[in-house]
Amino acid sequence: MRICSPKSTQVLAAKTYSAAVNIALEEVIRLRKIQSIPHFFGSGIWEGDLSQMREDRRENRKGRRRRK
């Protein structure tokens, strides 16, 4: 049984069927990672005060000279 067709290797610009399968699997993994991103919104992974962090950054910049 052949998993890949000659057209799939052409579309994926792969030289071999094995390379086409690897490209397709990498793409599936990439898409699954992207799909899982919304899961983390509001999940409480990050805890902190964004405005406080921004104030700290401003304080650290005071006294620094800009590079030319």
Percent helix, strand, coil in the chain (nearest 5)? 60, 0, 40
| CB burial of residue 17 (10 Å; 0-12, 13-18, 19+) | middle
User: Rounded CA gap, 34 and 53, in Å?
Assistant: 27
45-62 tens-digit pLDDT: 677 788 887 876 666 666
Which residues in the chain come in under a pLDDT of 50?
Answer: none
